[in-house]
Amino acid sequence: MVARNCVMARRFYLWTVSAALAGAGIGHSTAAAAQTPDQQQAWDAQRAQSLVQQQAKAETLTQQRAARKADPMSWVRTLSPLSNGGWQFRAVAADGSWAAYSTDHQMKRAGHLVTVWLREEYPEPQRNGGGDIYLSNVEKIQYDCSNERGRALLIIYYAENNIAGSQTSEATDIKQAPWDPIVPGTQSEFIYQWACDRHG
């Protein structure tokens, strides 16, 4: 009799604990977590629509890239020359992935060192070292015309093309700014030759 009472008491205790856990939301059933047919159908429709949109964006991007590669200047012509800042077009990538400008404004020379402002435009969003998205940037570059090297003193990133929109910047102490070699056949060499020849 005592053993039976103990078994019944244990069963009552386990039932009480289970009920308490269920009431507290700790226990749950598979049925409660499962989606209804309508919910599942709505989710499937949203996923299908998202995939269609992603495919459409990918196709549009492919077409735009092909058009820029076929005629890089067609994209450059959509940019503002910003002539008030003295900006002059210098180069465009063969695939139209970037365009470069330079200006005579604030150009300085001290011995064999030339400091100039450069501007770069991009048709697709870029990310800087801090993770910020930008479509254009300007750089204050110093070139060593005797040793074929350059270093960035200041970079300002703009959220929109034509150096517009919100901006972030990266500045380097001129005493600590590292020198980078001018690599032959690159955009850097083209601008380096322009800057150094102009003040040679």
How many helices and strands, by DSSP H and E, does the chain display? 5, 7
Specify the DSSP element, H or E, that contains 9: helix 2-24
Residue percentage of the chain with pLDDT more than 90? 66
Check residue 185 and give its pLDDT. 87
pLDDT digits (tens, 9 = 90+) for 152-192: 999 999 999 999 999 999 999 988 999 999 999 888 898 99
Instruction: Give the integer Cα–Cα distance in Å for 75 and 136.
Output: 14
46 is a domain residue: no
Check residue 48 and give its pLDDT. 86
113 is a domain residue: yes
44 is a domain residue: no
57 is a domain residue: no
Specify the DSSP element, H or E, that contains 160: strand 149-160
187 is a domain residue: yes
Check residue 200 and give its pLDDT. 57
- Name residues whose C-beta falls within 8 Å of residue 113's C-beta, 6 or more positions apart in sequence: 142, 143, 144, 145
Q: Find the domain containing 157 and state its range.
A: 81-198
Whether pLDDT at 199 is above 90:
no
Instruction: Please tell me what DSSP assigns to residue 192.
Output: H
Given a contact cutoff of 8 angstroms between Cβ atoms, the answer to whether 108 and 115 are in contact is yes
Given a contact cutoff of 8 angstroms between Cβ atoms, the answer to whether 100 and 116 are in contact is no
Domains contained in the chain, number: 1
177 is a domain residue: yes
193 is a domain residue: yes
Q: Whose CA is closest to 179, among 188, 170, 187?
A: 188
Instruction: Give the integer Cα–Cα distance in Å for 107 and 170.
Output: 20
Among the listed ranges 29-33, 42-46, 49-53, 102-106, which one has the minimum average pLDDT value?
Answer: 29-33
Given a contact cutoff of 8 angstroms between Cβ atoms, the answer to whether 163 and 119 are in contact is yes
We report the CATH number of the domain holding residue 167 as 2.40.128.710
26 is a domain residue: no
What distances in angstroms separate CA 71 from CA 2, 61, 82, 93, 98, one per listed residue?
95, 15, 22, 11, 13
User: Is pLDDT larger for residue 134 or for residue 5?
Assistant: 134
Mean pLDDT of 50-71: 91
Whether pLDDT at 40 is above 50:
yes
